[in-house]
Structure 1
């Protein structure tokens, strides 16, 4: 396999030229640590295709571990608490996580990754969610770029990744988070069209789902604050607050739809997509039901 390039993201971001048939995990880790300016090789975990690269006996080469040219490697800074864990505890925890992640990976394309990661995020398993999202990002990278640019799946995935960064309270992700959110905004604007014109047309003129925009602006505000851009932070957080207010559903309209037999979650979404208008919300729910029935018929 010879020389190859690895794309490193995380504690240090850049491209490394490596000898895949000669370099071990330890060699790669030492190089990343040197580039990142951190102290000690054990302060970095290297993650490839959703699994942590281990030194093993120190003789296995990167190519033998399945690391290929142009692979993306996530360099995760190990926290102080992790450094204090015993080797036995770390091994057992990693074994359990690997088993869980391997089950997810067995049914994992980019779309599945989003769904699987959201379930992990709800359980506050942010580290596992981040690894699943990394797998999803790799899966999306293999798709036709022209098709991917027309949908917002990758942008939503990026938002989830940045959300995990902050919930892990690791400030070393700050620069990467900023880059990801810039790509997210560009991706959403491209997929939804100027002033969301394309998305409105696809949804028959209905109101947009505001939650992705709210989360994007909230995270943009947090990053701007940490970067000392206080005015930009204020503007982003104010915009996020306005969208949050728009997303609130009154108990009266929600109860009315639920009395018609609709579930609370579906009723809330319909009201948000219809600017709180009950009649339009009912139309939306009827259309969604018919759409699902058509999809089931097509599958069979």
Structure 2
């Protein structure tokens, strides 16, 4: 990272002075060495670095430029690309581990691996581009390799290679399965509307826990987006960043199907952008710099819209802003990192100073944490409570107690709502409707019993499937489900329904294409239940889990950034 930082700064200085190292007097000139030395001596004091270090970096830039110029010409004329290889230490005769390889881009990676292995005497290797291992059985261009791409060559032992191959295959298989199962599980949940009493369903609520009215299609996309995001966050906690990134990018795709007004009214979208860039950082995928920069910008814009310019909207909704400040700490920290990589040390320092100020406020005091936990509060409650109350112990205890009471009141309201709903369904069932139809009608009527009754009347035409009619068919030996279906299909006429069931040998279903409805539907229901339970495990039971950052990873990155940024100030000139 430090090497990249120096290189960017030197390139900027060369650009400002319009110096072209690939042209005379720096290249193809008898005095080129003298000119390069003079340039290093002039730039070194400005950067507060040693002359040899700056000279080495300038020479590397010059060689890159010369090589790139030749490579561009070759690529234009023959479509043969020049790739830069960063070889393992000790496998080339000179100290420079950077080598170039010319190849077409439509060839398989395995072909390039074989060439590198033969040329440099490497038996088992893998190629890394932008933090990702290239698949040997796919062409270079299909995996993002372009003219002048830089690739790292990693050497592995015989045993490691075999293990790596089997692990890669297993990892790929598991990753694809995980994506598919997550999608399927949340797809099922997104299609549930709460009309099935025994089935869990998801409801999208505001920051106070009140359900939001969202158009059905948009709600589906939002539930899938949030589902993939939750799964991705769960994998991030396990440090499985590559797999996490796959799920987060799927979430991003689903969020794009939601209306922009919805995205700007909730902070989920902004948090997702931060999580994606945090994964880039963990995977050292510095080539995703441009994408990372735009994602952080989108996150900042979304936070401003959602929370207000000075967090006033958030203050109005939640009464405090302390818990959400960790999101800004991570935002500024990632902005500082990207600024440093781009060679903008001043901006990196400015952002890092904001990070350190926030960190000192948000890092919980261990004694206060212990005191709150001794009162029976959880570690999460204690941490979030102290942040919400800016470290005030007494206020934090009161705040946590109030939050507990609010959550309990919300549960009580939900219980009453459910109890009232069950009473209404029972009333409609007594009028002769099936429990399932009554529940669906009540859901579509937003709990209004009169409207639900109207819906049932309209959907069943001029007849009602009465319990008496069903019992007559049950007495004849038919199952309840097929009896209800037959009565609906025959307008409630018991004689016609009986004849229909006799013709179908008692196996009537409303979708006649299925020959064995009970077995297949039962099997499908079991699979659905398994998938739903699996994805629900990744959803945090605490609505503020995404704010409960321990700041351990952030602390490590802060220390790293400080060491990088102090380097230029401590070197002798």
* TM-score normalised according to structure 1 size: 0.70
In structure 2, what is the equivalent of residue 166 of structure 1? 281
- CA drift of 1:93 comes to 2.7
Q: Secondary structure at the match of 1:194?
A: coil
- CA drift of 1:82 comes to 11
The answer as to 2:162 corresponding to 1:97 is no
Count of matched residue positions in the alignment of Structure 1 and Structure 2: 244
The 2-side partners of 1:213 and 1:226 are apart by 20
The 1-side partners of 2:268 and 2:143 are apart by 24
Contact 1:200/1:207 (8 A) holds in 2: no
Larger C-alpha radius of gyration, 1 or 2? 2
- Which of 132, 137, 140 pairs up with 2:252? 137
- Which of 399, 403, 412 pairs up with 1:284? 399
Q: Structure 1 stretches of 5 or more lacking a match?
A: 1-33, 45-54, 57-73
The 1-side partners of 2:82 and 2:175 are apart by 29
Contact 1:101/1:128 (8 A) holds in 2: no
In structure 1, what is the equivalent of residue 368 of structure 2? 253
In structure 2, what is the equivalent of residue 5 of structure 1? none
In structure 1, what is the equivalent of residue 262 of structure 2? 147
- Which of 338, 344, 347 pairs up with 1:223? 338
| Distance change (3 Å), C-alpha of 1:128 and 1:79 | farther
| Distance change (3 Å), C-alpha of 1:92 and 1:260 | closer
In structure 2, what is the equivalent of residue 234 of structure 1? 349
| Distance change (3 Å), C-alpha of 1:106 and 1:292 | farther
The 2-side partners of 1:293 and 1:37 are apart by 64
- CA drift of 1:91 comes to 3.3
The 2-side partners of 1:166 and 1:206 are apart by 27
> 1:31-46 maps to which residues of 2 (within 5 A)?
40-41=105-106
| Distance change (3 Å), C-alpha of 1:295 and 1:112 | farther
The 2-side partners of 1:117 and 1:75 are apart by 23
The structure that is strand-richer by fraction is: 1
1:153-196 deviations in Å (ceiling 9; x for gaps)? 10100000000011111221111111111111111111110111
Q: Structure 2 stretches of 5 or more lacking a match?
A: 1-78, 84-103, 110-126, 128-136, 146-150, 187-223, 419-573
- CA drift of 1:81 comes to 5.1
- CA drift of 1:292 comes to 2.3
- Which of 284, 296, 299 pairs up with 1:181? 296
Larger RCO: Structure 1 or Structure 2 (Cα < 8 Å, ≥ 6 residues apart)? Answer: 2
| Distance change (3 Å), C-alpha of 1:230 and 1:292 | same
The 2-side partners of 1:123 and 1:263 are apart by 21
- CA drift of 1:40 comes to 3.0
The 1-side partners of 2:346 and 2:185 are apart by 44
In structure 1, what is the equivalent of residue 491 of structure 2? none
- CA drift of 1:244 comes to 0.9
The 2-side partners of 1:37 and 1:180 are apart by 30
What CA RMSD, in Å, does the superposition of the two structures yield over aligned residues?
3.4
Bigger Cα displacement from structure 2, 230-239 vs 279-288: 279-288
- CA drift of 1:215 comes to 0.5
| Distance change (3 Å), C-alpha of 1:247 and 1:205 | closer
